[in-house]
Amino acid sequence: MASNQELHLPFRLLVDKERNRVVVAEAGGDLVDILFSFLTLPLGTIIRLVSKKQVQDEAEEIGCINNLYHSVENSSAEVFWNHICKRMLLCPRNPCEALCQKLKVRVDDSEPMKYFMCSNKCRRGGDWFLSTFAEASCSCGKLMDKEMKLHGDYNEGTCRDGVFVKGKTMYLIFDDLRVLQSSPGNSVQQLLQLGYKNFHKLTEKYLNVGLKEILDILKQALISKSPLSDVFLGNGASKRVCTFSPKLRPENQGCLNYNSIINLKVTVRKSKKTILYAEAEGDFVDFLFSFLTTPLGSILKLLDGNFSLGCMNNLYKSVKDLNLSWLKNPSGTPLLNLQVAPQFGCKRQPTQLYEEHTPCYWYGTGVLKNNICYVIGNGVISKEHSLIQHPVAMKLFEPRSPDGTRESSVGFVRRPSLFVVWDDLQVTPLANTSSISFLQKLNVSLDDLEEHELRIGETEALNLLGASLTCKAALTEGLFYLLKKPKEEAKV
């Protein structure tokens, strides 16, 4: 098989030359699988991919999420619990990684997940530990760098008939990334709705698309309503279409989960009517950084109704509307219920950006096949208890902890810690920083500053998430509406 860089897939375009736009395209399930896989990508991965030189022109900024990503890049290792935390944020794990590895052209360039044990086979409290990071340190002082083969994973092998949709079928893909089953009836109906009674004004264009073109589509799909025309007809200067409107919490609904409320102190510049910056502790910064580990599809689901990101909403809706018989799994698809990959989430936060359930792992001395045991010298691990001999339950090593035993709710940054979060989501640690020097550098009249204390619940947190993807001033666009109320009400 050709490498990921070399493989190209056929793509047929129907083009209106007078208007220089793609009216509709037709492609097989392999290409549609790749487009749908955009939904599985965590935001941190998207930022990394669209920043690559091979993507059209210069890197595109998506709201101010880029600033959040670069804040992690530019932060010293001392800001985080350990060096693995920083890597987790810059290269977050795809929750559908095993499936996406089977795509004909893989968009996500992250390394596949591997499994490691301590070469001393150490136990702590009688428990075996398994790590998905070779840099993790065992309690004995050695690295957990002995790689283990995972046996019996149901995702092993190649995928001959599609990943998310049936591969041996054809699909209509419109300029705004709406996807429909290809049929004469659908083609007639859609062309008529677009104002075409015949094919006289339309010409065909046949292409073979590879990784570069797919990354270009990804980039344009985040900001434009016509990514196919932008990429294949040179219409790269399309108007940005990203909208967001803050959602107000119902008057009779307080902050339901008080354990997940985040207190935030913001400083307003009165003359500009903007939030200049926020003083934040670790909980709020962990919540912001967790945006980078969150799949795009789960964000589209949470923010449905008051949020539009290019034409990604159309891609998500196409999955929802697709006939179940055209899906690879007739009982449903993981694309509509995406969650953060295990161990990459932030448990103490106000939203429903939940982690996937961590699977159970078992360690044994051999593999069972047809009631015959095949002994393996270094042992073997599996998610299936029945597939290995003398199975012993294992605990998954928590990568954000020095000894792997701390609860994952600690997040990514050290405690105690204090940060400044600017309006555009640049995050600056305040360790050993003079507050007087900080205020002097602002170059703002002190009597123009006003401090407010806010309590961030689910509604406010989702508003901030939506603003971060669509606006350059996320704190102002996502939270300033709270300051228009009486101060007492803003604290409710």
List CB contacts of 73: < 8 A, sequence separation 6 or more: 90
List CB contacts of 55: < 8 A, sequence separation 6 or more: 49, 212, 215, 216, 218, 219
Residue 184 reports pLDDT greater than 80? yes
pLDDT digits (tens, 9 = 90+) for 124-173: 777 788 999 988 888 788 888 999 888 876 554 445 688 999 888 999 99
pLDDT digits (tens, 9 = 90+) for 36-92: 999 999 999 999 999 875 455 555 689 999 999 999 999 998 999 988 999 999 999
pLDDT digits (tens, 9 = 90+) for 102-113: 999 999 989 899
- Give domain limits for the chain: 9-490
User: Phi/psi zone of residue 370: left (φ > 0), alpha (ψ -120 to 50 degrees), beta?
Assistant: left
pLDDT: which is higher, 386 or 403: 386
pLDDT recorded at residue 287: 95
DSSP letter (8 states) at residue 322:
S
Which of 290-299, 339-348, 363-372, 395-404 is predicted most confidently?
290-299
pLDDT digits (tens, 9 = 90+) for 239-272: 677 888 888 776 655 555 556 899 999 999 999 9
Q: What is the mean pLDDT of the chain?
A: 87
DSSP letter (8 states) at residue 198:
S
pLDDT recorded at residue 243: 83
For the purposes of burial, counting CB atoms within 10 Å of the CB of 181, is it exposed (0-12), middle (13-18) or buried (19 or more)? Answer: middle
Mean pLDDT of the 229-247 span: 80
Going by pLDDT thresholds of 50, 70 and 90, the confidence category of residue 404 is: low
Please write down the long-range contacts of 66-70, taking CB distance under 8 Å and 24 or more positions apart: 67/422, 67/424, 67/425, 67/426, 68/288, 68/289, 68/291, 68/292, 68/425, 68/426, 68/427, 68/468, 69/43, 69/44, 69/292, 70/426
Closest listed residue to residue 348, CA positions, set 417, 288, 396: 288
Q: What is the pTM of this model?
A: 0.92
pLDDT recorded at residue 4: 56
Residue 216 reports pLDDT greater than 80? yes
How far apart CA 113 and CA 320 sit, in angstroms, is 29
pLDDT digits (tens, 9 = 90+) for 252-261: 555 555 568 9
pLDDT: which is higher, 375 or 134: 134
Percent of the chain with pLDDT over 90: 57
For residue 229, CA distances in Å to 34, 59, 312, 406, 416 come to: 18, 19, 15, 50, 50
For the purposes of burial, counting CB atoms within 10 Å of the CB of 451, is it exposed (0-12), middle (13-18) or buried (19 or more)? Answer: exposed
For the purposes of burial, counting CB atoms within 10 Å of the CB of 43, is it exposed (0-12), middle (13-18) or buried (19 or more)? Answer: buried
φ/ψ of residue 57, rounded to 5: 55, -140
How far apart CA 280 and CA 419 sit, in angstroms, is 5
Residue 488 reports pLDDT greater than 50? no
pLDDT recorded at residue 405: 64
For the purposes of burial, counting CB atoms within 10 Å of the CB of 412, is it exposed (0-12), middle (13-18) or buried (19 or more)? Answer: buried
Going by pLDDT thresholds of 50, 70 and 90, the confidence category of residue 277 is: very high
Q: Cα dihedral angle (458, 462, 465, 466), rounded to 10 degrees?
A: -170
pLDDT digits (tens, 9 = 90+) for 324-355: 888 888 777 899 999 999 999 988 889 988 88
How far apart CA 4 and CA 211 sit, in angstroms, is 7
Query: Do 452 and 265 contact (CB within 8 A), yes or no?
Result: yes
pLDDT recorded at residue 490: 46
